[in-house]
Amino acid sequence: MIAARLLRSAVLTLAALLPAALAQAQPATYYAGVVQHPPTSIPATQVVARYTLPRMSGGVNDFSGIATRDGVNIIMVSDHGYLVRGRLQRGYGQSIDGMELRQFVPLLDENGQPLGAGMRDAEGVSIGRDGAIYVAFEEHNRVLRYARAGGPAQDLGVHRDFSRLRAGRGLESVAVAPDGRVYSIPERAARATYGFPSYVWRNGAGWDGAFRLPSDGQFLPVGADFGPDGRLYVLEREYSARGYRSQVRRFSVNGQGISEGQWVMRSEVGQFGNLEGLAVFRDWGGRIRLLMVSDDDRGRGPSELIDVVVNR
């Protein structure tokens, strides 16, 4: 009798604990273009549009940066030193049905000449409050400002760290904050330290060190943008033999301080290509959207636009 009661008690206890244990063990799942994660860590995100970009003049589709204010009018930059302005054709449910090419021009230097080889590896682009275009380069690490697309550049100068950044792993992103400050983050630090450094440019004061972006495993920062909510969104990429995996975290930035990151999107391995550019905007329904562009990796894959809704 006692043994039976003890057995019954153990079974009831196990039955009570089993749902909680299963809930904790349940992995993140992905289906039908929707990325689901534990609600306590990563909000559910929905891919609302996936559009393969047409081949550009000369086959240049190695896009590494994108900027937009409204999710319709976009600016992209390529590794080969080109700038593209386009207007997306949105259909039912905000799908992307096409793109009207408005401008396709080489990026110019301060003298109005096309950037030469080794100087044109553009990786990030952002739009300032005055409409100026800021472009970050990862070979000869620097940020150039363009008063207009197709015009001559203004070099914003250098920080002492820029010359020490690894070639091809330098300034990957540029983001203009609501207060007008310009931030840039390299893909890898100049030296082995905690997290990733960032640099801030203040008009008239030049470059200075800013916050340190907390690292997350093997993910490396490749794109950034300040959203309409004032927070910094960072696109990060992880690569393995099975393909690319991407995620987006958002942060609150206060001078040289940065909050703990909140994950807002993470793809599964191979779900998307080599996502390198990120633009954040608010759609007509008031929702935060992430518009990302992938590099075609020298023709080995398609160059795509991925449009994601952040549900909270």
Q: Residue 132: which residues within 8 A CB-CB, separation 6 or more?
A: 145, 146, 147
Integer angstrom CA distances of residue 84 from 57, 81, 146, 276: 11, 10, 13, 16
Q: Output the average pLDDT for the chain.
A: 85
Angstrom distance (rounded) from CA 198 to CA 259: 14
CA atoms within 13 A on the CB side of 145: 20
Angstrom distance (rounded) from CA 31 to CA 273: 17
- Compute the C-alpha angle 128/154/142, nearest 5°: 85
Mean pLDDT for 150-159 is 96
pLDDT for 16 equals 38
Domain borders along the chain are: 37-310
Mean pLDDT for 158-169 is 85
The yes or no reply on domain 37-310 and CATH 3.10.450.350 is no
DSSP label at residue 201: E
* DSSP percent split of the chain into helix, strand, coil, nearest 5: 10, 50, 40
Angstrom distance (rounded) from CA 214 to CA 258: 9
Mean pLDDT for 243-271 is 92
At 256, is the pLDDT very low, low, confident or very high (cuts 50, 70, 90)? confident
Cα-flanking dihedrals φ and ψ of residue 285, to 5°? -90, 5
**In the predicted model, is pLDDT for residue 44 greater than 80?**
no
pLDDT for 306 equals 96
Q: Residue 73: which residues within 8 A CB-CB, separation 6 or more?
A: 85, 86, 87, 88
Angstrom distance (rounded) from CA 243 to CA 30: 16
pLDDT for 195 equals 86
pLDDT for 298 equals 78
DSSP three-state, residue 253? strand
Contact (Cβ atoms closer than 8 angstroms) between residue 130 and residue 138: no
Q: What is the pTM of this model?
A: 0.85
Identity of the residue numbered 78: S
